[in-house]
Amino acid sequence: MSEEIRVSETNAATGETVVRVLEGSELEAFLADRAAMQAEQEAREEAAAEKAVAKAAILARLGLTEEELATVLS
């Protein structure tokens, strides 16, 4: 069973709110888009994690702590 996604649109002038449920291709597009955004975010987090590992390795080679590096960069 697919997830139910409701969309409510409120008109500023009238204050009227219309609620509908996403269906068919519109629902598929929403779910695909959300999955793509999540994938993009995971990719960014993965890249950041790899960078953090590389940074830690360099600091270890230099014999510096994060705090010492921050002091150097400040």
Partner 1 sequence: MGRTRDVSKILTSNTSILSLASASSTYQTKAAAGLTLLTPTSIVATGGSATSSISSTGTVSFTSASAISLNDVFSTTYDNYKLLFVGTTSLENTINLRMRVSGADNSTSNYYFQRTLSKNGNDVQGGEALATTSWAGFNTNTTNTIIEVELFSPFLATATTFLGRYEKVETLATVHETGTLSGIHNVASSFTGVTYTVGGGTITGTISVYGYNK
Residues that bind partner 1 (CB under 8 A): 3-13, 17, 22, 30, 33-34, 36-38, 40-41, 44, 47-48, 51-52, 66-67, 69-70, 73
3-state SS, residue 18 = strand
**Cβ nearer to partner 1, comparing 41 with 62:** 41
**Cβ nearer to partner 1, comparing 7 with 58:** 7
CB of 50 to partner 1, least distance (A): 11
**Cβ nearer to partner 1, comparing 37 with 60:** 37
Nearest residue to 7 via CA among 25, 35, 26? 26
**CA angle (37 as vertex; 32, 42 as ends), nearest 5:** 125
3-state SS, residue 16 = coil
